[in-house]
Amino acid sequence: EIVLTQSPGTLSLSPGERATLSCRASQSFSSSSLAWYQQKPGQAPRLLIYGASSRATGIPDRFSGSGSGTDFTLTISRLEPEDFAVYYCQQYGSSPRTFGQGTKVEIK
Amino acid sequence: QVQLVQSGAEVKKPGASVKVSCKASGYTFTSDYMHWVRQAPGQGPEWMGIINPSGGSTNYAQKFQGRVTMTRDTSTSTVYMELSSLRSEDTAVYYCARTNYDILTGFWNAFDIWGQGTMVTVSS
């Protein structure tokens, strides 16, 4: 099982600032199988990034993903008020599919 | 538009079973796969398993083997997840989520469409 560890647990930032979220895997896997999701309270997760760096339909270009092997990053270039949420990374290429424990981006 | 609509909240006693439905619309039901994911209060998502609506084959997470059953009804474009021998730790929101397999690349795709979630509470 691939264990995903996200850091930091909480990121306190102001609107307009840059957010950098990390996801580290317990073993290397194809970047084609790494996704990032955004989740707001009371809502289902929403796909932001797939294949480590491709934006899903309708996702603004302030969201970008990068990385390979065991280290992956989600960057939000300039935080908008609607971006304050919890973000999860996920590997979806093999069973069991696994998720990180999440990074909460909160308003400072 | 593509959407997954799940059944309503459930309250069950320990030892009981629960069956959650997920009705798909807006796409060809048998062309894509469906996952079930649960999320306990304040926790990250946890993958439970996957079903192929076309043939009905399943692959369950080891943690749920023997307790979970995923089925589908192609006539109504609905998938079901039944969890038995419920305990308090099964209290969570249960989601269905769509994916597909790209035969050209040999890779699975991410979970692009999610249901709205079904809250299952297990309490005596």
pLDDT single digits (tens) B51-78: 999 999 999 999 999 999 999 999 999 9
Residue in chain B lying closest to A44 (CA): B116
Structure-token pair, residue B114: 């999610």
- Taking only the tens place, the pLDDT of each residue in A36-93 is 999 999 999 999 999 999 999 999 999 999 999 999 999 999 999 999 999 999 999 8
Which member of B44, B107, B109 has the closest CB to residue A88? B44
Instruction: Work out the minimum CA distance from B74 to partner chain A, whole angstroms.
Output: 25
How do the residues of chain B divide into helix, strand and coil, expressed in percent and rounded to 5?
Answer: 5, 50, 45
Which member of B35, B62, B110 has the closest CB to residue A47? B110
Q: Which residues contact A55 (CB under 8 A, 6 or more apart)?
A: A48, A49, A61, A63, A64, A65
Kindly tell me the sign of the dihedral angle through the C-alpha atoms of B108, A64, A67, A84. Answer: negative
